[in-house]
Amino acid sequence: MKRIFALATALFANVIICGTAFAAQSALVLHDGMTETFANTLVNLLGHFREYDARTASLDQADPGDIISAGAVFILLSYDSPVPGEDIRNALEKRSGITVFAGEHRWLGALPSQYECDLVTYRGKSFWLDDFSIKKMSKTFGKTFVAMSQSSEAVPFIEREGNRWMIHGAPMFEVPAWILADVLHDILEAPHSPKRLAMVRLEDINPSYSGERLKRLKDSIDFLYSEGVPFSMAVFPVFINAKGAPRALLLIDNPPLLDVLIKAERMGGTVIMHGTSHQYHQVSGEGSEFWDVDADDFIPEEKAYFHERMRYGLWLFKEAGLHPKLFEAPHYNMPLSLQRELTQYFGTIAGSLMISDESYTISQDFPYIIYKSREGLTVLPEQLGYIATDAEKMSIITILERLDTLTSIVRDPFACFFYHPYVAGDLYLRELIPQIRDRGFEFAGAKDYGGDPLVEVVEVPPIWQLAFTKVPLTRFIPLFVGVSGAIVLGAIYFRQTRRKKREMFRE
């Protein structure tokens, strides 16, 4: 019996080992505390590569065994951090897999002085830089893979020596970050095929829509549908119109809007849950819902608050007959802690992500799809911006410039812009959509990357006082009893009178 058990255990272990042999390799991103935010951006980018399963760890808690065995190791250092311990250095020496040094450190040969770089060249194109500096180095690491320059003096930005790489500085934002994002394909030996996907979101649709606004929304939807563009609609189901004692206008209070949205879903449009009320203390649409931007801090009792709003919001969508397939945080402000909580409701999020719980001002725009972010979400990015009221022409120029930058840098971009239909209905969509297609982009449907809510959606009590109070049917029972009583009495009286009349004529 024991032998059979041992055999079964061995077989089971074998299945597990064989199973993991085909699974993603591990990628380990090590930070020194000061480089933790940089590590968060990197682990998010690594989520683009399904070939790897990435996680961060702090250098002083890292396991040397994990460092030796990981498929790829990134070690992120700042100039003033202590030299990694001997066990870490030995583990890095023993590695034969992909190893990437990033940041700047005396141990790596960084000198105190630095280059304020003004230009970077990648894939034959040059881009102006804004506020990016790298330390001067006392030695060369390898062959320059990407070069930057300071007043025409070339300096290496990314160097390569076999499967060991060096990234100078901390490229977390804008062009340097997008270049790193693309070079990761080379670093990780993951040559994704070139493919350009695009997405458009109709933004901030809410129960206050009526009249001309509603017509412009409908025109936008009809145009996108006629063009075969699989569009998305970021909707929040509660509109709060005042500070102080707010009253909530709900989706179901607005049948003409609901009619448009239900039809739009049937036309293939995707509803995105754009928060529940798109506000915290403010008027809907103006406020962030899941971060206190005035204090630049967490909302008190943030988890209980978050779950209450999610449950209520999802119920209102269900009551309205709409089917959100993914989430988008109002103003993209949602701390890492709530990004993790969100995975209980949706697997996919749209837009940019906060990368630190310190401040909402630090967020990451992604150049391509992230299949698994640090907190476990699929991210459909947005990096092109939107058409601003009173600056429409300039907005279109900016969107196309950013699109061209993205296209020049990234081999498999996922480009997205968003649009408030009330700005001018389909007018600017007619201008932008063909120009995006001309650049070789194919529009993708957000629902292909999302799915139904992961929780059972049930009725929950309102959070705010409702603008139109719903009267329960039981309230009508006395009226019902009274009216039916009167009808019965009336009928009896009528029959009696008729009988009396008949009897009268018989005589």
What is the per-residue DSSP string for 353-383? EE--SS-TT-EE--SS-BSS-TTS-EEE---
Instruction: Output 53 or 292, the one with its CB closest to Zn ion.
Output: 53
The residues, any chain, with a CB within 8 Å of residue 67's CB and separated by 6 or more, are 28, 30, 73, 88, 91, 92, 95
What b/e readout covers 381-400, taking b as 16+ CB neighbours within 10 angstroms? bbbbebbeeeeeeebbebbb
**SS3 assignment, position 72:** strand
In the bound state with Zn ion, the residue whose beta carbon lies nearer, of 192 and 439, is: 192
Dist. CA 470–CA 455, nearest whole Å:
26
Decide whether 222 or 412 has the Cβ nearer to Zn ion: 412
CA–CA distance, 412 with 197 (Å, rounded to integer): 8
Stretch near Zn ion under the rule CB under 5 A, chosen from 93-101, 199-207, 280-288, 404-412? 404-412
**CA dist., res. 499 & res. 329, Å (int):** 73
The C-alpha angle 441, 443, 447, rounded to 5 degrees, equals 145
User: Which of the ranges 38-46, 71-79, 130-138, 406-414 carries the binding residues for Zn ion, by CB under 5 A?
Assistant: 406-414
Instruction: Give the shortest CB-13-to-Zn ion separation in angstroms.
Output: 34
Q: Which stretch binds Zn ion (CB under 5 A): 139-147, 337-345, 373-381, 409-417?
A: 409-417
Q: Contacts with Zn ion: how many residues (CB under 5 A)?
A: 2
Contact (Cβ atoms closer than 8 angstroms) between residue 185 and residue 411 = yes
Select the residue interacting with Zn ion from 55, 106, 136, 192 (CB under 5 A): 192
354 vs 410, which CB is nearer to Zn ion? 410
Q: C-beta of 158: minimal distance to Zn ion in Å?
A: 17
Structure tokens at 375: 């907190």
Closest contact distance (angstroms) between CB of 342 and Zn ion is: 24
The CB-of-8 to Zn ion minimum distance in angstroms stands at 41
Question: CA nearest 176: which of 127, 137, 136, 135?
Answer: 127
Q: Give the C-alpha separation, 159 to 318, whole Å.
A: 53
**Nearest residue (CB) to Zn ion, 192 versus 263:** 192
* Residue 263 binds Zn ion (CB under 5 A): no
Tokens of 497: 């009178």
Q: Count other C-beta atoms under 10 Å from residue 20's C-beta.
A: 10
The nearest distance, CB 190 to Zn ion, in angstroms, is 7
Select the residue whose beta carbon is closest to Zn ion and give its number: 192
Query: Which lies closer to Zn ion via its Cβ, residue 197 or residue 293?
Result: 197
Min separation Cβ 351 and Zn ion, Å: 19
Taking contact as CB under 5 A, which single stretch among the options 186-194, 208-216, 320-328, 443-451 is the one that binds Zn ion? Answer: 186-194
Beta carbon nearer to Zn ion, 412 or 431: 412
Among 36, 357, 412, 431, binds Zn ion (CB under 5 A): 412
CB contact at 8 A, 239 and 248: yes
Report d(CA 84, CA 35) in Å as an integer.
14
Residue 319 or 412 with smaller CB distance to Zn ion: 412
One-letter identity of residue 195: K
CB of 292 or CB of 412, closer to Zn ion: 412
Listed ranges 290-298, 405-413, 433-441, 442-450: which one lies at the site for Zn ion (CB under 5 A): 405-413
Binding positions for Zn ion, rule: CB under 5 A: 192, 412
